[in-house]
Amino acid sequence: MIQQAKAFAEKAHEGQKRKSSDALYITHPIRVAKILEDSGFSDEVVCAGYLHDVVEDTPYEIEDIESVFGPRVAHLVSAHTEDKSRSWQERKQHTIDTVKYAEKEVKYLIVADKLDNLLSMEKEYARQGELLWENFNAGYNQQKWYNESIAQNMSVGLEDSEVPAYFQEFTDAVKRVFG
């Protein structure tokens, strides 16, 4: 199932590039899935890592995910899919609220995604400097608010034993990028 999810994501994101670099978009879901797999999560969570942006950024619908990968994977992807008809601020506040109150597998998916985004942002900032912020719908201050809010809320409701190591990596990256 995991290889099928990777192949599905590769097909769905074919030709897409990352927002702030020339990297192929598929490199992002591959890294997100690797974070989740390396943390020992279920095949469904790993599949959701590969597929997390498919509904948001391609013509595929959540029903396509469900018909191929089942209701659990579709639920995880759906919980993390932003409604692009809403403003940036509304979408990000929804994600913050979701990461605060969602079941742990949804939290794991969201934070793995945000960690990879932030590590990419950090790398591109070293290359582009302040010009990096022009690549996004929101500038430095809004990105800072958003990432700090994710870090503050991601562990709510989790026992210490349920917090994966990459949550600390995310917190550390937020401090490095935003001070």
Residue from 10, 43, 56, 148 carrying the catalytic annotation:
56
Task: Please say if 56 is a catalytic residue.
Answer: yes
DSSP 20-67: TSSSBTTHHHHHHHHHHHHTT--HHHHHHHHHTTHHHHSS--HHHHHH
DSSP 120: H
Task: Please say if 97 is a catalytic residue.
Answer: no
Residue from 10, 57, 122, 169 carrying the catalytic annotation:
57
DSSP 128-159: HGGGGGGGSSS-HHHHHHHHHHHHHHTTTT--
Write out the catalytic residue numbers. 56-57
